[in-house]
Amino acid sequence: MKNKTKIFTAIILLLALIPALLVSIYSRSCVDDFNYSYMTYHSFVDCPYNIFGVFVEALKTDWQFYNHWQGLYSSAFILSLQPGIFSPKVYFLGTILLLLIIFFCTYYTFSTFRSFLYVKKSTIALFALLLTGFFCQFMPSPIEGLYWFNGAYNYVPFFFLTLVNMSVLYKGCTAANKRYIYISMILSFLISGGNHVCSFMNILLLGMNLLLWCRKKLYARYISYSLVMAVIGFAIMYWAPGTAVRQGTMSNATVPDTLIQSLKFMFTHHWFNAEWILISLSTIIFVTFFVDSSKRRKMHHPLFITLGLFIIFWGMLCVPYYPMQCFGAGRVMNIFFFAVTSFTLFIIAYTTLYIKIKTGINIKRNKYTNILGTILLLVNTMYISFSSSNLAHKAVAEMKSGTAQAFANAFDERLVMMSEAKERNSIEVLKFKPLPQSELLRFDDLSANVDDWRNVAWYQYYGIKCIVNE
């Protein structure tokens, strides 16, 4: 595949992400953003140049939530540092950073196995960009996965860090390099404190790798180190006082019902669509025509891999259902979407390569395979970039209609009203109009009850009691 084609494809994919980035300019903090960051916000307002003080307050926030609401020690720290604490106008930086995290984590994961696949760095980078575009353009809930900091950063980074963790562990085992093992141990501990779904996913993936490589003592020992750290982190999170508080507000399902309902959901939910079929077909073509199968590789039977990933995904579905008797909000569905996409593409690629090696078929690249690869790449790119159901289309629609601008203006008007009330030393409860509806930007709003937890969080953050006239 020529470099010109790769460059053209990369440009199209990047251009398609511009609307998603532009609409983020109109995003603003909401609900749990205020709940988690009011301490760091006040620290910054009181002393803007004391960044150390902000981090201290972030640690205090982490400890507070650990004891009083949930034990997610990694995510609580991150959530307290949402960009809105510095200025409402820079809240969108969270979206930009998240896109970069998705790409670089995906790229690192693929690049780790470049020596295994014997492909160029540019090809790996292009495929990582293609998959980043796919993840972002078709995630089930963009508002909870990109534009609402609290919802996005509680889940998305930890999923992709789990993929990175597997890659780092692979490097450590194959190169017998303890530095990578130490990094994997740290990552496992951090992931366990991120969210329950990704924590369980990481533990199960490590367990699967331990079973696959149990005959290699060195590999097994290294994997065990990371697994132990993951379990320790999970125990610290699970037995936190705050976790018990939150679980007290929920009604647990039975174990049999959890297993049955999760299995049913796995087979009945609409996971796959036209864009997924396209990217799967491209994966098969890529491995068939562009991956050299003449090199010797140690590979397990694909059935073991498939069964293992099936059980892992089943376990991930069980995590939210057991305490809540449902499969979670949009931010959790985003993780399931990432997982089912990553797992199935890995199975497809792995199985295709396994068949090539076992059959001894090694198709050499020629002008016809290059043409086929180029066509599929361009079709994928165009569909991901210009589909009427993608994020870019929704973002353009919200900006064209003025919905995004109206949302941001309404929020900023509230800030002006509060500023004027503070200048008057007013103690009255301010009454706001509801924020305009927005599929991408409005997750939730204040209520008409001044004692509602959302209103209390707003008061803790801004120091002004407010309600919404419904």
Q: Among 112-116, 395-399, 447-451, which stretch is predicted with the lowest mean pLDDT? A: 112-116
50 lies in a domain? Answer: no
Instruction: Say if residue 1's pLDDT is above 60.
Output: no
344 and 421 inside one domain: no
82 lies in a domain? Answer: no
96 and 158 inside one domain: yes
450 and 357 inside one domain: no
69 lies in a domain? Answer: no
> Of all residues in the chain, what percent carry a pLDDT higher than 90?
70
127 and 183 inside one domain: yes
412 and 318 inside one domain: no
- Looking at residue 469, its pLDDT comes to 86
Residues 317-325 have a mean pLDDT of: 93
- Using one digit for the tens of pLDDT, what is the confidence trace for 157-179? 999 999 999 999 999 998 888 99
Cα dist from 252 to 74, 246, 247, 258, whole Å:
25, 12, 8, 9
Q: State the residue range of the domain holding 217.
A: 3-23+92-397
415 lies in a domain? Answer: yes
Answer with the residue of higher pLDDT: 380 or 43: 43
Domains held by the chain: number: 2
Residue ending a domain, among 376, 397, 418, is 397
Q: Among 107-111, 139-143, 272-276, 348-352, which stretch is predicted with the lowest mean pLDDT? A: 272-276
344 and 424 inside one domain: no
CB 72 within 8 A of CB 237: yes
366 and 468 inside one domain: no
State the CB neighbour count (10 A cutoff) for residue 346: 17
Angle value at C-alpha 152, between 114 and 68, nearest 5 degrees: 125
Residue ending a domain, among 397, 424, 453, is 397
51 lies in a domain? Answer: no
- Looking at residue 322, its pLDDT comes to 93
375 and 431 inside one domain: no
- Looking at residue 359, its pLDDT comes to 83
411 and 386 inside one domain: no
392 and 288 inside one domain: yes
List the structure tokens of 212: 């696959």
244 lies in a domain? Answer: yes
User: What's the mean pLDDT when you consider all of the chain?
Assistant: 91
